Amino acid sequence: MEIEKKDIRALTKEKLRDFFVDNGDKAFRGNQVYEWLWSKGAHSFEDMTNVSKETRAMLERNFVINHIKVDKMQKSEDGTVKNAVRLHDGLLVESVLIPTETRTTACVSSQVGCSLDCNFCATAKLKRMRNLNPDEIYDQVAAIDKESRLYHNRPLSNIVFMGMGEPLMNYPNVMKAIEKITSDEGLGMSPKRITVSTSGVTKMIKKLADDEVKFKLAVSLHSAVEEIRNKIMPFTKNFPLTELREALEYWYAKTKSRVTYEYVVWKGINDDKKSIDALVKFCKYVPCKVNLIEYNPIDDGEFQQASEESINAYISALEKADIVVKVRRSRGKDIDAACGQLANKDAE
Ligand code: SAH
C-alpha cells in the first residue's frame, strides 16, 4: 500500500534534524537539507547536490516538496507582473510584482479566495476555499524576488499582504511565513519593509500588538461612517468602528507604529462632506497616514470612482488637519493586477 508522503517543508528545522538522527544520520544533515529547502529554494531532492544519492532516495521515499508553480505570468505596460500561482492541490492564487524607480514590491495572497465580503472587491466574489500554508506564502515572495532580480537586476525590497484573502483570518500561517521571510535562513528581509493589510479584524489587530510584531499595519477603512462601512463591507457589522478605534489605539500604544488607512472614494457613496469629516475625525485617534486608492472597476457597475473635485476635497481637508495623505495610482490595470482585481480571471 502506498503511504501518503508528507510535505517536508511542513517540518521545522528541529524536526528535520530529529528525522535524520532517528534514521541513523547526523543532525547536521537536517541543516543542509533545510538550507536547500528554504534559502536555496530547491524544487526537488535531486537538486541537493551536497547530499548523498542514498539520502536523497531516502528523502524521496518519505517526503514530497510541495512547491508552488507559476502557471502563467502576465506583464503590464507599466512593468507590473502578475503571477498566476498553481498550488499543489490544483487551486490558484495570484501575486503581483510592482516595480518603481527605487523599489520592487511584492503583493502576495494569504488565502485562496477570501473570508470577507467587500462589495467592491473582485476577490470577495470568490468564496474562501482555504488558507494558504506558510510555505505557499513564502514561495510567492521567493518567486517575485527571482523575477525582480531577473527583470530589474535588484532584489525584492518590499512586501505587502494585499493580494487575495484576509491575512488576519489566516493569522498563524501568515506569521510563520513572515518569520521565514525575515529570517537569515529564508530571505533575510527587514520586517520594516513588510506591510500586512486588514479590512479591520479587531481581535487580531490586538493580537498583532500583543505579539509585538515589527512589520507595518494597513487598514482598509473606506468609510469612517458606520452605516456606509456596513453597507459596502457587510462583515464590519461584527467589527464596529468603536472597536476598530480601540484596537488601533491598543496597536499604537504597544508598537508605536503609525497605521496606514486605505481609502477609495466612490461617487455617491462616500464623496460627501459628512464622510470627509468622519475620516478626519477618525484619523485623530492614532498617528496615521491615508492612502487614497484609485478605484479599479470590477465590471458590476455599482461602484464608480469619485470625481477629481471630491478627491481634492478629501486631500485638502486631511492636509488642513495635518494628516499625511497620498493618492495611489493603480498599477497593472491592463492585466487585472490592480487592487481588488485579483480573481483568477485569465488563469483557468
Ligand atoms: N483583506 C485585506 C487584504 C487585501 S488588500 C484588506 O482588505 O486589507 C486589497 C486592498 O484593495 C484593500 O485595501 C481593498 O479594500 C482594496 N480594494 C478592493 N477592491 C478594490 C477595487 N476594486 N479598487 C481599488 N481597491 C480595491
330 carries a ligand binding annotation:
no
Is 197 flagged in the annotation as binding? Answer: yes
User: Which ligand 1 atom sits closest to the C-alpha of 110?
Assistant: 3
Tell me whether residue 107 is annotated as binding: no
Residue nearest to atom 24 of ligand 1 (CA): 295
- The counts of H helices and E strands in the chain are 10, 14
- What does the pLDDT read at residue 313? 98
pLDDT for 339 beyond 80: yes
- Give residue-wise pLDDT tens across range 190-203: 999 999 999 999 99
Q: Assess whether the C-beta atom of 120 lies below 6 angstroms from ligand 1.
A: yes
CB of 148 sitting under 6 A from ligand 1: no
Question: What is 6-64's CATH number?
Answer: 1.10.150.530
Distance set, CA 59 to CA 39, 62, 65 (Å) = 19, 5, 10
Over residues 90-119, mean pLDDT? 95
For residues 342 and 126, give the distance between their C-alpha atoms in angstroms, rounded to a whole number.
10
Is 249 an active-site residue?
no
82-110 mean pLDDT: 95
Compute CA distances 338 → 84, 156, 221, 228, whole Å. Answer: 14, 19, 18, 24
CA 75 to chain CA centroid, Å, is 20
Contacts 24+ apart (CB under 8 A), 223-229: 223/269, 223/270, 223/275, 223/278, 223/279, 224/275, 224/278, 224/279, 224/281, 224/282, 225/270, 225/274, 225/275, 225/278, 228/269, 228/270, 228/275
pLDDT of residue 346: 66
Is the CB of residue 92 less than 8 Å from the CB of residue 85? yes
For this structure, is 2 an active site residue? Answer: no
Domain edges within the chain? 6-64, 69-335
Q: Counting atoms of ligand 1 from 1, which one is nearest the CA of 164?
A: 4
pLDDT (0 to 100) of residue 174: 98
Using CA positions, which residue lies closest to atom 13 of ligand 1? 220
Q: How many CA atoms lie within 13 A of 182 on its CB side?
A: 17
Q: Which atom of ligand 1 is nearest the CA belonging to 162?
A: 5
Ligand 1 binding pocket includes 260 (Cβ within 6 Å) = no
Cell of 288: 496615521
Report pLDDT for 278.
98
CATH 3.20.20.70 fits 69-335, yes or no: yes
107, 283, 288, 339: which is the annotated catalytic residue? 339
Q: Is the CB of 298 under 6 A from ligand 1?
A: yes
Domain 6-64 identical in fold to domain 69-335: no
Cα of 94 vs centre of ligand 1, distance in Å, is 14
* Confidence band for 338, pLDDT divided at 50, 70 and 90: confident
Assess whether the C-beta atom of 96 lies below 6 angstroms from ligand 1: no
- Is the CB of 291 inside a 6 Å radius of any atom of ligand 1? no
DSSP string, 236-259: GGGS-HHHHHHHHHHHHHHH--PE
Q: Which of 117, 199, 265, 270 is the best mutation target for the ligand 1 pocket, counting ligand atoms within 8 Å of the beta carbon and taking the most?
A: 199
Q: How far is the CA of 164 from the centre of ligand 1 (A)?
A: 9
| 283 is annotated as contributing to ligand binding | no
Mean pLDDT for the chain? Answer: 94
pLDDT digits (tens, 9 = 90+) for 25-81: 999 999 999 999 988 889 899 999 999 999 999 999 999 998 899 999 899 999 999
Measuring from atom 18 of ligand 1, which residue has the nearest CA? 340
Q: What angle do CA 217, 261, 308 make, to 5 degrees?
A: 150
Catalytic-role residue among 94, 136, 147, 262: 94
Tell me how far apart the terminal alpha carbons of the chain are, to the nearest angstrom. Answer: 34
Q: What per-residue confidence (pLDDT) applies to 48?
A: 96
Residue given cell 497620498 in the structure block: 326
Substitution candidate for ligand 1 out of 293, 304, 305, 328 with most atoms within 8 A of CB: 293
Query: Chain centroid to CA 316: how far?
Result: 30
Which of 220, 232, 233 is the pocket-test mutation for ligand 1 (most atoms within 8 Å of CB)?
220
Instruction: Write the residue with the smallest CA distance to atom 3 of ligand 1.
Output: 162
Q: How confident is the model at residue 3 (pLDDT cuts 50, 70, 90)?
A: low
**Across 196-214, average pLDDT:** 98
